[in-house]
Amino acid sequence: MPLPVPGPPEALYIHVPFCISLCPYCDFVVVAGAEARGPASRIPGYVAAVRRELELRADTLDARWGAVGSPTRPRLGSLYLGGGTPSILPPDAIAGLIRLVELRYGLADRAEVSLEANPGPDDRGDPAALVAAGITRLSYGAQALDDATLKSLGRRHRAADVVEAVAEAREAGIESLNLDLLYDVPGTSVEGWMTTLDWALELEPDHLSLYALTLDDPDAEGLTGPLGDHLPTTRGARRWRDTARAGQDEDRAAAMYHHAVHRLAEVGFEAYEISNWARPGHESRHNLAYWERRPYEAVGPGAHAFDGAVRRWTAARLDTYSNALTPADGSPGRLPPGGEEALDAASAAAERVILGLRTSSGLPAEAMAEPPLAEHIGWALAAELIDVTADDRIVLTTRGRLLSNELFARLV
């Protein structure tokens, strides 16, 4: 097994940890309420800190890989502002961040510049200003397209807001548009989900991310300590999740997934990853960088970076983050604390197989003969989890996608 080799980043993720309100199922690093808007907003302080982090990380990359644009330091193919709700940042702050990235990291011609937005009227931002700032791709957290389900999920927006947001984005000239939707939501039915998908298709998105509502417990996973990459789950969210879990149903979830596979294929969307569908040419280049294990840089609290050999993350707490980068005493600031993990050859090989199989391009046939897949390939073929395509690629079947952890848990 080859040892992992580091390389310069091909993509950059900026985590924007602000939302107007918290959704009870979400465990991304987010602060909300008075910290996200109004006189006590921490957004300006965050913007200063993240700009500082962008500078410091760029200094390190310059020293390691040479100046931006040199043969050893290609410009970025993708920049992704995720959150949280990056669309609640002031437009000039977004424009400023993109300019800074262009200057210190470089953006390739026709680079993908994505931004996550909420569809609600007071947090979707101004698409025209976003396009002017350089955003090429918008990803709306629609989650559902009927008001009852949106309400049960604790979302602030209504179905009509999604329609409006999409129209505004198209008007402004956004090239590529994604909708996030959740399935296996308590109280929903397979029929309701079929309608939701049809309505979503009527909005003519270029990309759909369909996620199963997954109620994790980051505290139990040990991720929420002082230097953890997640924030502790609030008591309210914990209660909500405990109740919601009882309303989930794996058979219903599987039926919903099967329907999506079938329906979206009909209209020419490719299921290019377990949870992601796109019209040809609209695959998220940023996400592909994650799944193809290309090096990516990341900034912001709780953000994860990968240089091809080491996975690195930043502590989630905003105070810790800001205090390190923009100390109150005016001193120059240093990189925020966090953690890292150097991958050994076996972990890297397992990741390559798992992430590769999650995508529709799968793995080359040779992977069947190599660890860690070699020892499980017979079983996985017999169990109809994987298939070999006409052009000799190993891919998951639809059944294999739904049961992928049964295979992956044997590979890690």
Site for other proteins in 357-396 (CB under 8 A): 383
Q: Which C-beta is closer to other proteins: that of 251 or that of 266?
A: 251
Contact yes or no for 13/312 (Cβ under 8 A)? no
Neighbours of 50 (CB within 10 A): 26
Determine the interface stretch with other proteins among 32-40, 190-198, 325-333, 350-358 (rule: CB under 8 A). Answer: 350-358
Q: Is 8 in the site for other proteins (CB under 8 A)?
A: no
Per CB under 8 A, the list member of 279, 311, 337, 381 interacting with other proteins is 311
Question: What are the phi and psi torsion angles at 55 (to 5°)?
Answer: -65, -50
In DSSP terms, 342 is beta-bridged to 310
Q: Which residue has the tokens 């529709």?
A: 360
- How far apart, in whole angstroms, are the C-alpha atoms of residue 207 and residue 138? 10
| Residue among 5 and 167 whose Cβ is closer to other proteins | 5
Closer residue to other proteins, CB minimum distance, 221 or 392: 221
From CA 149, how far away is CA 245, in angstroms rounded? 15
Which residues in the 246-285 window bind other proteins by CB under 8 A? Answer: 250-251, 253-254, 257, 274-275
From CA 328, how far away is CA 251, in angstroms rounded?
54
Position among 35, 53, 112, 229 found at the interface with other proteins (CB under 8 A): 229
Q: Decide whether 223 or 373 has the Cβ nearer to other proteins.
A: 223
Q: How far apart are CA 124 and CA 116, in angstroms?
A: 9
Counting contacts by CB under 8 A, is residue 347 touching other proteins?
Answer: yes
Q: How many residues interact with other proteins (rule CB under 8 A)?
A: 47
**How many contiguous H segments (helices) and E segments (strands) does the chain have?**
14, 17
Contact between 288 and other proteins by CB under 8 A: the answer reads: no
* Contact mark string toward other proteins, 324..343, x via CB under 8 A: -----------------x--
To the nearest whole angstrom, how small is the minimum distance from the Cβ of residue 355 to other proteins? 7
User: C-alpha dihedral over 284, 411, 26, 35, to 10 degrees?
Assistant: -80
String marking each residue 187-226 x if it binds other proteins according to CB under 8 A:
----------------------xxxx-x-x----x-x---
Which residues touch 330 (CB under 8 Å, ≥6 apart)?
A: none
Q: Are 76 and 105 in contact (CB under 8 A)?
A: yes
Question: How far apart are CB 216 and other proteins at their closest, in Å?
Answer: 8
- Return the closest-CA partner of residue 81 out of 283, 229, 300, 317: 300
**Alpha-carbon span 13 to 16, nearest angstrom:** 10
**Among 4, 8, 9, 82, interactor with other proteins by CB under 8 A:** 82
Position 92 contacts other proteins (CB under 8 A): no
Residues from 141 through 160 that contact other proteins (CB under 8 A) = none
Nearer to other proteins, 227 or 383 (CB): 383
Stretch of 32-40, 119-127, 299-307, 359-367 lying at the interface with other proteins (CB under 8 A): 299-307
Read off the tokens for 280.
């040809």
Q: Interface with other proteins includes 305 (CB under 8 A)? A: yes
Task: Assign 3-class secondary structure to 367-397.
Answer: HHHCCCCHHHHHHHHHCCCEEECCCCEEEEC
Nearer to other proteins, 31 or 298 (CB): 298
- Structure tokens that stand for 49 in this block: 């800190």
Residue 44: what residue type?
P
Region for residue 149 given its phi and psi (left: phi exceeds 0; alpha: psi -120 to 50; beta: otherwise): alpha
- Binding status of residue 133 toward other proteins by CB under 8 A: no
Q: Which tokens hold the place of 105?
A: 């990291």
Query: Is 109 a residue that touches other proteins (CB under 8 A)?
Result: no
For the bound state, the minimum distance from the C-beta of residue 194 to other proteins, rounded and expressed in Å, comes to: 18
Which positions touch other proteins (CB under 8 A)? 13, 28, 82, 180, 209-212, 214, 216, 221, 223, 229, 250-251, 253-254, 257, 274-275, 290, 296, 298, 303-306, 311, 313, 341, 347, 350-351, 354-355, 383, 401-406, 408-412
